[in-house]
C-alpha cells in the first residue's frame, strides 16, 4: 500500500482501514501519542505484529561509546541514545487459548482512528480466531495532556458468535526485544542498548504492578506502574505476578455472545537521575492514584478540553485543499504533542514518536518548532528554552574545551553534551548558538515575558555572544569574519563567512548588547561590562557578508559561487540522497545544496536583503538545492511566496506538510519529522500569510496561491489573540482577545482593535517572472498535477 493510500483524508483526523503490515512502522509513528513527557508509538495493544515497539520518556537515554577510526582532540567519546523503556501499552488477549494476532485467523475488520480534537487513538477490530470464534475488540488510548505522568487505555473485548474463554494479560515489559538490533552495527553500542534496563524493584498485587529499573551507564532510574479497573461478567478472575522485567495483571472470564470484558488500564511513569528508588516508585503510584481518581471518562474530558482550547485558539483553516487541511492539523497536533509538556527537557527532532537520530535534539527545535509554538503555546517555548539554559554548564565546558569563550551548545544531544561524531557537520555548525538566541528573543517579543528574559534569556544571549566574539575576528579592514564553520546546508562544511551564520551571529551580538543594557545589574553579575558589550556591537556592526558582484548573488559562504557546479545532469534519481552515494569531499567542494541555507538567511534576516536580491538569490539557489533534507521545503516555500512564486510555494508547502503522511523521506518509520511538520505551518503563515517578526511589530504580506480559496490562522501575541483571515480578495484582521494590536499589512500600519475587524485587499502578484527551476528531477511534486519526486530525507548526518 502506498503511503498516501494508507490513511483516509479527513480534516480532523487520520483513519486507517485494515492493516498494512509493511507500512506498520510508519503507521506507528503517525499514530504515536505523546505529551512531550511520555511518548507511545502506535503499536498494537497486543504488541505483535509490530514495526518498531517504542515507549519513550523525555530525557531517558543510555550512554554508548562513540568510536573513531582515527580520533582527534575534542571528539566526543560518549553518545546518548534514546531507549525503549518499559512497555506499558501491552494488553495481550487470548481467545480460547488462541492469541489474538492479526496475522492469523481472519481479520474481518480493523480500523484505527486518531482524532486531533480529543487526541485519542481509537481502534475497532472484529476477528475470527483460527478455531472459528469471533470477537470484537475496541480500544482507546491516550497520553494525558493534563496529567503528564499518565497514560490510559480503555480496552473491551466482546464475544460475537458463541461463548469464548477470554484471557487478558495487561503487562509492563522491560528490555523488549527490538527488531534488527540496536547500535548501528557497532557491537559495543549494541551491547549497551540491547537490554539497557537493570531491574531494581518489581511488584504486582491485586490489579496493580510496578517495575523500577535503572540504566546501566547513564544511571537513570525509571519506574513504570499500571493499575486497572476491570468490568466483566460475574465470574471474572484476576491474578497478579511479576518478574524482573515484567509485571502482569491477568483477567479471565467466559463471555457469551454480546457479553463484554472491559479493562481500563492506567499507566504512569516516573524517572530521575537523582531521586531514590522509593521516591520514584511513590511518584508513579501517586500518579496512578490520581489517574484512577480522575477515571477514564475524566481523563478523556480533560483531554478534550485541553485540545478544544488549543484548536479554538490555534487552528489553521484552509479552504480548497482538504488533504493539506488534514496535513496541517496533523502537523499542529504532533508539534503540540512534542512540546506540550516537555517541561525543561529537550524537544527531539522526532519528538517522542520514534528512535530516529538517537532521540537527539538539534537546531530543528529552535529554528522550526519553537517559531510555531511561540504563537500558539508560548509556555512550551519557555520550557524548551529553560532546558537549554539548564545545559549552560555543559555548553560552557564545551566552549572551554574548544578554546572559545561563552557557551557552545551541542549540535545533537539529549542531556546537553555534544553527541556529534562527525565534527564538520556537528561541532562546526556553531549557528546552533544563534538559533537558540533568536528563539529566546522571539519568545520574549511575542510574550513580553521579561521575567524569563531577565533570568534566562539574558544569560543565553550573553554566553552565545561571547562565543561569537571569540570565534570570529576583525580582519585588517576591520570587518568581522567567522571562518571555518558549517552553515545549515550539510553539503558544504567548514567554510568561511557563511551568510546565514554571520547574520544570525550579528543579531545574536546586537540582541545580547541590547539585553545587557536593559538588565545592567544582572548582566553585571554575569561579568558583562560596557567594554564587552561594545565589542559585541562592534563585531555585529562590522559583520562581513560576502557578495558576488559579478553574479549579483550572495554566495552562501566565501567562494561558494566560484565552486564547480555539481553535475546534476549526470546524477540519476537513484543517487539521491547524494550523501549516501557521493563522498563528502565531492559534495563540499561543489555547488550543490542539501537544504535551504542562504534562502533560510533571507527568511530569518529578511531585513538585510533587498527584494531584488531575494528574487535573484532564490532563483540561483533553486537551481542548486536538491532537498535531501526535510528541513528545506518549508523555507523554500516561504521565500518562493515572498518573491511571488506562489504556485511553487504551494508545492513546497504541500511537500513539507505531507512529509510523514506520504512518507516522502522514506523514513517515517523511525519517527515523525517535527521540523517539517512545524515547517508546514511556517510555510502557510510566513509564506502565504507573509508573517515576519523581525521587529516588535508583526508584519504580514498575504498572498494566496490559485489552489487555495482561503487561509485563516490565529496567533497569540502577549495578551492578544489575533486572527488573520485571507481570501484572494480580502485579508481580515480580527482581535479575538486583547484590546489593540498594531500590525503591518503590506507595509501599511494597521491598528487592530477589539471588536473591530480590519479588512484590506489581498494583493495580487503582478509579475514574478519565470518559475525558478530545480536540479533535474528535484522539482517538488506539483500540487494538483503530475506525480512528484521522492525526496530523500537525511536531515542529520551521519548517513544511515
Cell of 36: 512531550
Q: How far, in Å, CA of 299 to CA of 279, rounded?
A: 25
Q: Which residue has the cell 546518548?
A: 80
Residue 558, CA atoms < 13 Å, CB-side half-sphere: 11
Are 111 and 124 within 8 A, CB to CB? yes
Q: How far, in Å, CA of 733 to CA of 740, rounded?
A: 11
Q: How far, in Å, CA of 24 to CA of 1, rounded?
A: 11
> Strands, E, within 659-797: which ranges?
699-700, 710-717, 720-727, 730-737, 740-745, 748-753, 758-761
Q: Nearest Cα to 686, choosing from 763, 600, 594?
A: 600
CA distances to 264, 422, 668, 785 from 793, rounded to whole Å, are 39, 18, 10, 22
| Residues found near its own copies in the complex (CB under 8 A) | 66-76, 79, 184, 186-188, 401-403, 420-428, 473, 475, 481, 483-485, 493-494, 496, 558-559, 562-564, 579-586, 588-590, 797-799
Torsion-angle region of residue 132: left (phi > 0), alpha (psi -120 to 50) or beta?
left
Q: How far, in Å, CA of 723 to CA of 737, rounded?
A: 9
The least CB distance from residue 513 to its own copies, in Å, is 22
- Name the H helices within 91-240: 187-194
DSSP for 411-459 reads SSBSSSS---S-GGGTTT-THHHHHHHHHHHHHHHHH--HHHIIIIIHH
Does 271 appear as a known binding residue? no
Cell of 45: 495493544
The least CB distance from residue 582 to its own copies, in Å, is 6
Q: How far, in Å, CA of 349 to CA of 673, rounded?
A: 7
Q: How far, in Å, CA of 461 to CA of 483, rounded?
A: 21
Are 224 and 248 within 8 A, CB to CB? no
Pairing of strands 134-143, 120-128: antiparallel
Does 208 appear as a known binding residue? no
**CA dihedral angle for residue 536, residue 537, residue 540, residue 542, rounded to 10 degrees:** -120
Closer to its own copies by CB, 216 or 694: give it: 216
Residue 13, SS3 per DSSP: strand
Closer to its own copies by CB, 114 or 404: give it: 404
Which neighbouring-strand residues pair with 753?
Answer: 740, 756
Are 158 and 259 within 8 A, CB to CB? yes
Closer to its own copies by CB, 471 or 677: give it: 471
Q: Which residue has the cell 567594554?
A: 531
The least CB distance from residue 798 to its own copies, in Å, is 3
Backbone φ and ψ of 238, nearest 5°: -130, 155
List 158, 490, 532, 655, catalytic entry: 490
Q: How far, in Å, CA of 87 to CA of 133, rounded?
A: 29
490 in catalytic set: yes
CA distances to 152, 253, 412, 517 from 207, rounded to whole Å, are 14, 15, 41, 60
The least CB distance from residue 575 to its own copies, in Å, is 10
The least CB distance from residue 502 to its own copies, in Å, is 14
Does 297 appear as a known binding residue? no
Q: Which residue has the cell 532564490?
A: 618
The least CB distance from residue 422 to its own copies, in Å, is 4
Closer to its own copies by CB, 319 or 562: give it: 562
DSSP for 197-220 reads EEEEEEEEETTEEEEEEEETTT--
Q: How far, in Å, CA of 84 to CA of 670, rounded?
A: 13
Does 594 appear as a known binding residue? yes
CB within 8 A of 594, min separation 6: which ones? 489, 490, 491, 577, 578, 579, 587, 625, 626, 627, 628, 629, 632
Q: How far, in Å, CA of 146 to CA of 128, rounded?
A: 38
Are 99 and 93 within 8 A, CB to CB? yes
| Binding site feature residues | 363-364, 594-595
What is the set of active-site residues?
490
| Binding site feature residues for substrate | 363-364, 594-595
Amino acid at each position: 500500500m502506498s503511503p498516501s493510500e494508507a490513511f483516509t483524508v479527513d480534516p480532523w483526523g487520520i483513519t486507517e482501514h485494515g492493516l498494512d503490515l509493511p507500512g506498520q512502522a510508519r503507521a506507528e509513528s503517525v499514530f504515536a501519542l505523546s505529551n512531550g513527557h511520555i511518548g507511545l508509538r502506535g503499536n498494537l495493544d497486543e504488541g505483535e505484529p509490530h514495526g518498531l515497539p517504542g515507549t519513550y520518556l523525555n530525557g531517558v537515554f543510555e550512554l554508548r561509546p562513540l568510536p573513531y577510526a582515527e580520533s582527534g582532540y575534542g571528539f566526543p567519546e560518549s553518545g546518548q541514545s534514546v531507549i525503549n523503556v518499559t512497555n506499558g501499552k501491552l494488553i495481550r488477549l487470548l481467545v480460547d487459548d488462541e492469541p489474538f494476532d492479526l496475522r492469523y485467523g481472519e481479520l474481518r475488520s480493523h480500523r484505527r482512528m486518531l482524532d486531533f480534537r480529543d487526541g485519542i487513538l481509537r481502534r475497532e477490530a472484529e476477528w475470527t480466531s483460527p478455531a472459528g470464534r469471533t470477537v470484537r475488540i475496541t480500544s482507546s488510548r491516550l497520553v494525558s495532556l493534563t496529567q503528564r505522568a499518565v497514560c490510559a487505555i480503555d480496552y473491551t473485548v466482546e464475544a460475537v458468535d458463541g461463548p469464548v474463554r477470554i484471557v487478558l494479560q495487561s503487562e509492563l515489559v522491560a528490555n523488549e526485544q527490538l527488531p534488527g538490533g540496536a547500535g548501528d552495527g557497532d557491537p559495543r553500542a549494541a551491547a549497551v542498548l540491547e537490554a539497557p534496563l537493570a531491574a531494581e524493584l518489581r511488584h504486582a498485587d491485586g490489579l496493580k504492578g510496578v517495575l523500577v529499573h535503572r540504566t546501566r551507564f547513564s544511571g537513570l532510574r525509571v519506574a513504570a506502574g499500571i493499575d486497572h479497573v476491570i468490568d466483566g461478567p460475574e465470574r471474572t478472575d484476576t491474578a497478579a505476578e511479576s518478574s524482573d522485567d515484567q509485571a502482569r495483571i491477568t483477567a479471565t472470564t467466559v463471555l457469551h455472545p454480546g457479553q463484554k470484558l472491559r479493562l481500563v488500564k492506567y499507566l504512569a511513569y516516573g524517572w530521575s537521575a537523582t531521586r531514590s528508588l522509593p521516591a520514584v516508585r511513590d511518584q508513579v503510584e501517586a500518579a496512578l492514584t490520581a489517574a484512577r481518581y480522575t477515571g477514564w471518562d475524566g481523563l478523556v474530558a480533560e483531554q478534550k478540553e485541553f485540545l478544544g482550547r488549543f484548536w479554538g485558539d490555534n487552528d489553521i483553516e484552509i479552504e480548497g485543499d482538504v488533504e493539506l487541511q488534514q496535513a496541517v492539523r496533523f502537523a499542529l497536533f504532533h508539534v503540540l504533542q512534542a512540546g506540550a509538556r516537555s517541561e525543561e527537557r529537550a524537544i527531539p527532532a522526532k519528538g517522542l514518536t520514534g528512535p530516529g537520530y538517537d532521540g537527539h535534539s538539534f537546531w530543528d527545535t529552535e529554528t522550526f518548532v519553537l517559531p510555531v509554538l511561540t504563537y500558539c503555546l508560548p509556555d512550551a517555548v519557555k520550557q524548551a528554552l529553560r532546558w537549554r539554559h539548564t545545559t549552560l554548564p555543559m555548553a560552557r565546558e564545551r566552549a572551554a574545551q574548544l578554546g572559545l569563550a561563552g557557551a557552545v551548545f551541542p549540535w545533537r544531544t539529549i542531556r546537553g553534551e555534544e553527541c556529534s561524531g562527525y565534527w564538520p557537520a556537528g561541532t562546526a555548525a556553531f549557528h546552533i548558538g544563534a538559533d537558540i538566541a533568536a528563539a529566546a528573543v522571539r519568545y520574549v517579543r511575542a510574550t513580553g515575558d521579561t521575567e524569563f528574559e531577565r533570568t534566562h534569556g539574558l544569560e543565553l544571549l550573553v554566553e552565545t555572544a561571547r562565543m561569537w566574539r571569540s570565534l570570529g575576528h576583525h580582519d585588517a579592514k576591520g570587518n568581522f569574519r567567522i571562518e571555518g564553520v558549517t552553515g545549515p546546508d550539510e553539503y558544504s562544511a567548514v567554510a568561511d563567512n557563511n551568510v546565514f551564520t554571520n547574520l544570525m551571529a550579528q543579531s545574536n551580538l546586537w540582541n545580547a548588547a541590547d539585553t545587557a543594557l536593559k538588565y545592567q545589574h544582572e548582566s553585571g553579575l554575569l561579568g558583562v561590562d560596557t567594554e564587552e558589550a561594545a565589542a559585541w556591537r562592534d563585531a555585529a556592526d562590522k559583520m562581513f557578508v560576502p557578495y558576488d558582484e559579478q553574479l549579483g548573488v550572495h554566495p552562501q559562504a566565501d567562494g561558494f559561487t566560484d565552486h564547480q557546479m555539481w553535475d546534476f545532469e549526470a546524477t540519476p534519481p537513484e543517487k539521491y540522497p547524494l550523501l549516501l552515494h557521493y563522498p563528502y569531499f565531492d559534495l563540499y567542494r561543489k555547488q550543490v545544496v542539501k537544504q535551504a541555507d542562504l534562502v533560510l538567511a533571507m527568511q530569518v534576516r529578511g531585513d538585510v536583503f533587498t527584494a531584488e536580491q531575494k528574487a535573484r538569490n532564490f532563483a540561483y539557489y533553486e537551481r542548486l538545492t536538491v532537498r535531501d533534507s526535510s528541513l528545506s521545503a518549508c523555507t523554500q516555500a516561504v521565500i518562493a511566496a515572498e518573491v511571488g512564486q506562489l504556485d511553487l510555494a504551494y508545492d513546497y508547502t504541500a511537500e513539507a506538510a505531507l512529509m510523514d503522511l506520504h512518507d516522502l523521506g522514506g523514513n517515517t518509520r523511525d519517527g515523525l519529522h517535527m521540523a517539517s511538520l512545524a515547517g508546514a505551518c511556517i510555510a502557510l503563515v510566513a509564506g502565504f500569510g507573509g508573517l515576519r517578526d523581525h521587529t516588535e511589530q508583526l508584519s504580514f504580506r498575504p498572498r494566496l496561491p490559485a489552489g487555495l480559496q482561503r487561509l485563516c490562522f490565529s496567533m497569540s501575541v502577549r495578551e492578544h489573540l489575533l486572527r488573520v483571515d485571507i481570501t484572494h480578495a480580502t485579508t481580515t484582521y480580527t482581535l479575538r482577545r486583547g484590546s489593540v494590536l498594531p500590525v503591518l499589512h503590506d507595509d501599511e500600519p494597521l491598528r487592530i482593535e477589539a471588536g473591530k475587524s480590519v479588512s484590506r485587499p489581498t494583493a495580487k502578484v503582478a509579475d514574478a517572472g519565470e518559475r525558478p527551476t530545480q536540479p533535474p528531477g528535484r522539482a517538488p511534486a506539483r500540487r494538483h498535477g503530475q506525480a512528484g519526486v521522492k525526496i530523500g530525507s537525511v536531515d542529520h548526518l551521519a548517513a544511515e
